[in-house]
Chains A and B, each alone.
Chain A
Amino acid sequence: MPAVRSRAVRALDRDVAHVDSTSAVLPGQHVCSIVRHGDRLADRVVAWAREGFAAGERVVCVDGERDEFLQWLADGGVDYPSLLADGSLVVVRPEDAYLVDGAFDLDRRIALQGAFVKQSVADGYPAVRMSSRAVVAVGAFPDIAALVEYETRFEALCQELPVSGLCIYDSDAFLDELPQLTASHPRAVADDQLRCWMERGRVRLAGEADVSNADLVANVLAHTVPTDGSLVLDVGALSFIDVAGVSAFVSTARRLAPAARVTVVNPPPHLRTILTALAWEDEVDVVTGTAT
């Protein structure tokens, strides 16, 4: 049956979108990557590292559990010994990555990260990508406030130099701090199902938006400043959105200045159904088929 076949193909597409939506880190992106109980963290980190190797980038993993990380790479079919040997893979301990001579010195640390990126470029790498799991890394910082401050400075570095970051936050461990942590990654937030990033003045969403990440979406949108009075959300890469997801858009729209609008472009089919059924049509503008 063609109908059945197309559903099966679609199911496959959904799986691909699922991986794409969480692993892909664009150049210069500093991603707040949320891990929840039951998420496959290894898949996410390995996919991220493989993309880096494929692009010829230098991959730096800040990890207190070096052996576990290398095992993930090996399980993912990555020939890590040769990458370690030629310097395109670097694994460092958090105290070496975030402290200077054993002390927390933010200005000097950021300067050292910048110098490392410049040196890597001089060595022929197009970019550096760094990954860190905060639940481990946080031990190197005096307190959470220092971590947030570091993240804010690193975000600035990512905008200045060819470096990207995958910052992994376990939602259970950082439940109370997630709003400020997502704010310190203003251009990209992701979890296992959804990726949200800024691109050419628009917020783009890919993957599946539902009850598990509606708060995350609302959080990201709360820290996004509308340009020209309008907040443009490109949801063309969303494969699913439900009432919880759409309500994040609506509550955002209600927080904007009276003249400002939320404009949703490239909506998946159900978005209009939900807006109409729930009497939200007037709250956000929906535009179909605009080029990105």
Chain B
Amino acid sequence: MTSTATLSRDQGPGGVFRHEALLYRGEREFARGVLAFVEDGVRTAEPILVVVSARKIALLREALGGDADRVEFADMEEVGRNPARIIPAWRDFVQQHLTEGRTVRGVGEPIHPDRTEAELAECHHHESLLNLAFDDAPAWHLLCPYDVNALPASVIDEAHRNHPYIRDQDAERASEHYVHAVERRVPFEGPLPPPPADAPGVSFGTGRLDGLRGFVYSEAAAARLPGARTDDLVLAVNEVATNSLRYGGGQGMLRMWADAEGLVCEIRDGGQFAQPLVGRVRPTGERMGGRGLWLVNQLCDLVQIRSSDEGTVVRLHMWLR
């Protein structure tokens, strides 16, 4: 089998992380493609984690029968609600199971037709950042299914740019369009729709954030965001604004508005992010700085960071659905 030959070349001891898109048309092809990959892993007794929708987990479990017990499953709806939480989940799994001479396998489907434009943009960034996050990692193999029937062609084009390898029902091959995350300046580049012209805003600085927090509380109350989520949003805005005070020139501007999904808070300042994986590396307890955006990713449904030498924009999304 071609696939086995390719795998043994790229994945054995001294191999590298292999990040591969599986292009499928409809549920039957999904099942066939994923099952072949999973069963290969079961045969070689590799630890396997499959993170897809609950519906697809049920589908795979049934098809796998008794072998399902040898596979870990997780609901992408929970793990990847905010796609910035997916890389840490893979890192946890890989670190937990990867031992000398043994590889692990994963299947992750963060992109489905119901994702919004903003979510899609960040899911693509996530896919691209996987290549950076596991650049130096021991060899493991991640397969990312994309539904060619249900997703727009532009999404499939992005899959070709973000995956070094592409597989479909017939064959697997290197992607001709693959570009590494660093070259794409992921996640700091990409358009954001402009805020509504009448979105209220408040500037902050002089070392204080209490007025800013009061503003977020009252705007969230007016938008009927539930209390616990409001507390989360206030803390998240506070952490981003703390970064503005410390690293972003000591001041910034917050604007807040509602969109079709929920509430958006946008913080602008004059700083620039340098680390593409900011907010995606689990704190270890030792280092005292750089924790704000990690926490923000745990609190918010979606976080978008755009940063250049002209300044930084951080958008925090809190769904009302």
Asked if residues A3 and B224 are in contact (CB atoms below 8 Å), the reply is yes
Residue from the set B210, B220, B226 with the largest chain A CB neighbour count within 10 Å: B210
- B312 close to chain A: CB less than 8 A: no
Give which listed residue, A1, A242, A251, contacts B224 with CB less than 8 A: A1
Q: Is the interface of B mostly helix, strand, loop or mixed?
A: helix
**What CA separation (Å) do A208 and B228 show in the bound complex?**
18
**What CA separation (Å) do A269 and B232 show in the bound complex?**
10
Shortest beta-carbon distance from A4 to chain B in Å: 5
**What CA separation (Å) do A281 and B295 show in the bound complex?**
14
Q: Which residue of A lies closest to B285 (CB)?
A: A279
Asked if residues B239 and A280 are in contact (CB atoms below 8 Å), the reply is no
Asked if residues A38 and B206 are in contact (CB atoms below 8 Å), the reply is yes
Looking at B136-144, B193-201, B211-219, the stretch in contact with chain A turns out to be B211-219
Give which listed residue, B242, B282, B283, contacts A211 with CB less than 8 A: B242
Give the number of chain A interface residues (Cβ < 8 Å). Answer: 36
- B17 close to chain A: CB less than 8 A: no
Shortest beta-carbon distance from A286 to chain B in Å: 16
Asked if residues B294 and A277 are in contact (CB atoms below 8 Å), the reply is yes
Q: Cβ of B175: which chain A residues have Cβ within 8 Å of it?
A: none
Asked if residues B231 and A278 are in contact (CB atoms below 8 Å), the reply is no
Within 8 A of A (CB), among B265-321: 282-285, 288, 291-292, 294-295, 298-299
Give which listed residue, A8, A36, A242, contacts B235 with CB less than 8 A: A242
Q: Cβ of A14: which chain B residues have Cβ within 8 Å of it?
A: 214, 217
Give which listed residue, B206, B207, B285, B295, contacts A243 with CB less than 8 A: B295
Q: Cβ of A251: which chain B residues have Cβ within 8 Å of it?
A: 288
Q: Cβ of A36: which chain B residues have Cβ within 8 Å of it?
A: 206-208
- A66 close to chain B: CB less than 8 A: no
Asked if residues B242 and A279 are in contact (CB atoms below 8 Å), the reply is no
Asked if residues A242 and B222 are in contact (CB atoms below 8 Å), the reply is no
Shortest beta-carbon distance from A48 to chain B in Å: 20
Q: Cβ of A11: which chain B residues have Cβ within 8 Å of it?
A: 214, 217-218, 221
Give which listed residue, B213, B220, B246, B292, contacts A7 with CB less than 8 A: B220
Asked if residues B295 and A211 are in contact (CB atoms below 8 Å), the reply is no
Q: Cβ of A1: which chain B residues have Cβ within 8 Å of it?
A: 224
Within 8 A of A (CB), among B211-256: 213-214, 217-218, 220-222, 224, 226-228, 230-231, 234-235, 238-239, 242, 245-246
Asked if residues A242 and B298 are in contact (CB atoms below 8 Å), the reply is no
Q: Which residue of B lies closest to A6 (CB)?
A: B227
Q: Cβ of A273: which chain B residues have Cβ within 8 Å of it?
A: 235, 295, 298-299
Q: Cβ of A18: which chain B residues have Cβ within 8 Å of it?
A: 210
A256-282 CB mask vs B (1 if < 8 Å, else 0) is 000000000000011001100111101
**What CA separation (Å) do A269 and B231 show in the bound complex?**
9
- B209 close to chain A: CB less than 8 A: yes
Within 8 A of B (CB), among A208-249: 208, 210-212, 240, 242-244, 247
Within 8 A of B (CB), among A164-199: 192-193
**What CA separation (Å) do A70 and B245 show in the bound complex?**
36
Q: Which residue of A lies closest to B241 (CB)?
A: A211
- A283 close to chain B: CB less than 8 A: yes
Q: Cβ of A108: which chain B residues have Cβ within 8 Å of it?
A: none
Within 8 A of B (CB), among A126-171: none
- A255 close to chain B: CB less than 8 A: no
Asked if residues B285 and A278 are in contact (CB atoms below 8 Å), the reply is yes
**What CA separation (Å) do A151 and B158 show in the bound complex?**
66
Within 8 A of B (CB), among A1-58: 1, 3-4, 6-8, 10-11, 14, 18, 36-38
Asked if residues A211 and B224 are in contact (CB atoms below 8 Å), the reply is no
**What CA separation (Å) do A62 and B153 show in the bound complex?**
75
Asked if residues A274 and B295 are in contact (CB atoms below 8 Å), the reply is yes
Residue from the set B208, B234, B288, B291 with the largest chain A CB neighbour count within 10 Å: B208
Asked if residues A37 and B291 are in contact (CB atoms below 8 Å), the reply is no
Shortest beta-carbon distance from A216 to chain B in Å: 12
Q: Cβ of B230: which chain A residues have Cβ within 8 Å of it?
A: 7
**What CA separation (Å) do A251 and B206 show in the bound complex?**
25
Asked if residues A7 and B227 are in contact (CB atoms below 8 Å), the reply is yes
Asked if residues B206 and A37 are in contact (CB atoms below 8 Å), the reply is yes
Q: Cβ of B245: which chain A residues have Cβ within 8 Å of it?
A: 211
Q: Known interface pairs A212-B207, A240-B213, A243-B292. Does A279 touch B283 (Cβ–Cβ under 8 Å)?
A: yes
Q: Which residue of B lies closest to A270 (CB)?
A: B235
Asked if residues A212 and B227 are in contact (CB atoms below 8 Å), the reply is no
Residue from the set A14, A192, A247, A279 with the largest chain B CB neighbour count within 10 Å: A279
Residue from the set B207, B220, B228, B284 with the largest chain A CB neighbour count within 10 Å: B207
Q: Which residue of B lies closest to A1 (CB)?
A: B224
Q: Which residue of A lies closest to B243 (CB)?
A: A211
**What CA separation (Å) do A33 and B291 show in the bound complex?**
30
A–B pairs, 20, beta carbons within 8 Å: A1-B224, A4-B224, A7-B221, A7-B227, A10-B217, A14-B214, A36-B207, A211-B207, A212-B208, A212-B210, A240-B238, A242-B242, A247-B291, A273-B295, A273-B299, A277-B283, A277-B294, A278-B291, A278-B294, A279-B282
Contacts beyond the supplied A10-B227, A193-B208, A251-B288: 17 A-B pairs with Cβ under 8 Å: A4-B221, A4-B222, A7-B221, A10-B217, A11-B217, A37-B207, A208-B213, A210-B209, A211-B242, A212-B208, A242-B239, A243-B242, A269-B228, A274-B235, A278-B294, A279-B284, A279-B285
Chain B residues near A (Cβ < 8 Å): 206-210, 213-214, 217-218, 220-222, 224, 226-228, 230-231, 234-235, 238-239, 242, 245-246, 282-285, 288, 291-292, 294-295, 298-299
Chain A residues near B (Cβ < 8 Å): 1, 3-4, 6-8, 10-11, 14, 18, 36-38, 192-193, 208, 210-212, 240, 242-244, 247, 250-251, 269-270, 273-274, 277-280, 282-283
